[in-house]
Amino acid sequence: MTYSALALLRHAFTGNKAWTPVWRFPDPKPCYDTIIVGGGGHGLATAHYLAKEHGITDVAVVEKGYLGSGNVGRNTTIIRSNYLLPGNTHFYEHSLTLWEGLERDINYNAMVSQRGVLNLCHSDSQRDAYARRGNAMRLAGVDSDLLSAAEVRAMVPGLNMDSVRFPVKGGLLQRRGGTVRHDAVAWGYARAADQRGVDLLQNTEVIGIRVEHGRVLGVETTRGFIGAKRVGLAAAGNSSRVAAMAGLRLPIESHVLQAFVSEAVKPMIDTVVTYGAGHFYVSQSDKGGLVFGGDIDGYNSYAQRGNMPVVQDVMEFAVQLFPAMSRLRYLRQWGGIMDMSMDGSPIIDRTPIEGLFLNCGWCYGGFKATPASGWCFAHIIATGQPHALAAAMRLDRFATGALLDEKGAGAQANLH
Ligand SMILES: Cc1cc2nc3c(=O)[nH]c(=O)nc-3n(C[C@H](O)[C@H](O)[C@H](O)COP(=O)(O)OP(=O)(O)OC[C@H]3O[C@@H](n4cnc5c(N)ncnc54)[C@H](O)[C@@H]3O)c2cc1C
């Protein structure tokens, strides 16, 4: 079934009785060409591009919960491509380009909203660093604008520009950045993959990976063994646990990141704003709630919930930046498990085990990467060769030292 205005009208006139389920609920086949472990954004996008770009449709996505129950349905929905390092810039720009055409590609309304992403600066040196990043972006063909304090004031009324401690000196704006409705991304990719014949196996946990003579043979699941020629791991926060089933130890730590949403209010912030003097970012959802977040919690964890010290930090930053937020009630708070890599950048690569591929290390920023990640992961699974856009995201960089350290924070996962 194709979604369109005409279809909507037709269904309205026939009592909305003819809608069909958005995807099938198949039983696992004994064997597939390719199995993707993890029905998050990255796993589902990979399945879609495997089918669409490479004609590989004998694919199963194996998900332990329901589709979108992981970070893809828990994030703060921000997309952007405002990176400094070439190894990142072109990859994330490709992602943004795919976001721009996504809804047409998958015939699904993902509410892609290019409302801009504004990084605030609070000192001259920070403005210099933003100018450098903005120039690097422009040289790579990516849009960026360095705004003066007056331009920021005009763009975001309600912002506490003149805080005694951290006055706003300006900002770096990427106008093509913005937000996308996160769970619609999971649903849209799932539907598109399903329509091309991909089996989506929900409530099916991978509990083992069968490897013989250095080659992957398939996965043990809670619904039995499923054979496959190729297995791609896209388990985000659980990557270390899943890779350990094949005897691999990853340069990844798992940490909790929290997010918050307020009660719905009239339009108050029509862009995405990030604080430069603390870790805080905020946007307003189409329902009216302010959606915001901050730093990861202070220790490694697999818990999908957060701790009070970070709640306090985030609330303090919120009120520093937008004093009016102190008048709002907060509705919900939740956590997701982040796969934090040692240099803050992802891994899309083969593994030493033949037929086993790895996609992880997304840290805070994997949602915006979803389309390009799926695109490049599908490429390496289909061809055996890394995609040029993800050439800097190989696993061996941790041995060679060719790190992709955007923040320059060094080999400490929790700082990225
Ligand atoms: C609070 C929060 C805010 C964020 N904000 C942003 C943001 O604004 N912008 C941005 O770019 N990024 C953001 N991120 C990061 C982004 O959400 C993640 O990097 C990205 O979603 C990870 O990829 P994924 O969608 O494939 O992960 P997930 O949705 O977590 O998918 C992985 C899936 O693997 C499944 N799985 C795990 N183990 C097994 C197993 N053994 N068997 C079968 N299935 C298994 C899980 O159930 C899960 O569904 C945020 C994350 C959080 C938590």
Distance 183 CA to ligand 1 centre (A): 11
Nearest-CA residue for ligand 1 atom 31 is 40
Neighbours of 96 (CB within 10 A): 24
Q: Which long-range contacts (CB under 8 A, 24 or more apart) does 311-319 make?
A: 311/258, 311/260, 313/278, 313/279, 314/258, 314/260, 314/280, 316/278, 317/275, 317/278, 317/279, 317/280, 318/280, 318/282, 318/292
In a domain? residue 408: yes
Give me the CATH number covering residue 31: 3.50.50.60
Nearest atom, ligand 1, residue 205 CA: 42
Q: How would you label 283-298 residue by residue, b for 16+ Cβ within 10 Å and e otherwise?
A: bbbeeebbbbbbbbbe
* pLDDT per position as a tens digit, 245-271: 999 999 999 999 999 999 999 999 999
Distance 71 CA to ligand 1 centre (A): 3
* pLDDT per position as a tens digit, 118-168: 999 999 999 999 999 999 999 999 999 999 999 999 999 999 999 878 999
187 shares its domain with 243: yes
231 shares its domain with 153: no
* pLDDT per position as a tens digit, 266-323: 999 999 999 999 999 999 999 999 999 999 999 999 998 889 999 999 999 999 999 9
Look at residue 164 in the predicted model and tell me its pLDDT. 75
Q: How many domains does the chain have?
A: 2
In a domain? residue 100: no
Ligand 1 pocket check: which of 80, 347, 364, 370 to mutate, most ligand atoms within 8 Å of Cβ?
Answer: 364
In a domain? residue 46: yes
Which stretches does DSSP call E strand in 14-116? 31-37, 59-62, 78-79
Phi, psi of 183 (to 5 degrees): -75, -25
pLDDT bracket for residue 378 (50, 70, 90) = very high
Ligand 1 pocket check: which of 61, 62, 71 to mutate, most ligand atoms within 8 Å of Cβ?
Answer: 71
Distance 154 CA to ligand 1 centre (A): 35
Distance 135 CA to ligand 1 centre (A): 31
284 shares its domain with 240: no
Nearest atom, ligand 1, residue 338 CA: 53
> What residues pair up with 296 in beta bridges, in sequence order?
257
Nearest-CA residue for ligand 1 atom 51 is 75
Whole-angstrom distance, CA of residue 413 vs CA of residue 323: 32
315 shares its domain with 295: yes
Pocket lining: 74 vs ligand 1, CB cutoff 6 Å: yes
* Angle made by CA atoms 328, 333, 335, in degrees to the nearest 5: 150
Pocket lining: 341 vs ligand 1, CB cutoff 6 Å: no
Whole-angstrom distance, CA of residue 106 vs CA of residue 198: 14
Look at residue 60 in the predicted model and tell me its pLDDT. 98
Nearest atom, ligand 1, residue 44 CA: 26
Pocket lining: 235 vs ligand 1, CB cutoff 6 Å: yes
Nearest atom, ligand 1, residue 77 CA: 8
Whole-angstrom distance, CA of residue 257 vs CA of residue 367: 13
Q: Which of 323, 341, 359 is the last residue of a domain?
A: 341
Distance 88 CA to ligand 1 centre (A): 19
pLDDT bracket for residue 375 (50, 70, 90) = very high
Pocket lining: 40 vs ligand 1, CB cutoff 6 Å: yes
156 shares its domain with 199: no
Look at residue 1 in the predicted model and tell me its pLDDT. 83
In a domain? residue 98: no
CA atoms within 13 A on the CB side of 130: 23
275 shares its domain with 245: no
349 shares its domain with 320: no
Give me the CATH number covering residue 119: 3.30.9.10
In a domain? residue 123: yes
Pocket lining: 172 vs ligand 1, CB cutoff 6 Å: no
173 shares its domain with 258: yes
329 shares its domain with 398: no
* pLDDT per position as a tens digit, 79-120: 999 999 999 999 999 999 999 999 999 999 999 999 999 999
In a domain? residue 298: yes
Q: Which of 341, 367, 383 is the last residue of a domain?
A: 341
Q: Rounding to the nearest 10 degrees, give the CA dihedral for residues 16, 2, 366, 275.
A: -60
In a domain? residue 85: no
The pair of three-digit structure tokens given for residue 199, joined into one six-digit string: 């089996």
In a domain? residue 16: no
Distance 132 CA to ligand 1 centre (A): 31
The pair of three-digit structure tokens given for residue 251, joined into one six-digit string: 């340069």
Distance 312 CA to ligand 1 centre (A): 24
pTM assigned to the model: 0.97
171 shares its domain with 187: no
| CB 357 within 8 Å of CB 381 | yes
Of the given ranges (1-15, 105-119, 132-146, 341-355), which has the lowest mean pLDDT? 1-15
Pocket lining: 336 vs ligand 1, CB cutoff 6 Å: yes
Ligand 1 pocket check: which of 48, 75, 174, 311 to mutate, most ligand atoms within 8 Å of Cβ?
Answer: 75
Nearest-CA residue for ligand 1 atom 52 is 75
Range of the structural domain that residue 60 is part of: 24-77+182-251+343-415
Q: Which of 341, 359, 390 is the last residue of a domain?
A: 341
Q: Which CA distances in Å does 258 have to 98, 243, 338?
A: 27, 25, 10
296 shares its domain with 242: no
242 shares its domain with 381: yes
Mean pLDDT calculated for residue range 211-229 = 98
Amino acid at 35: I
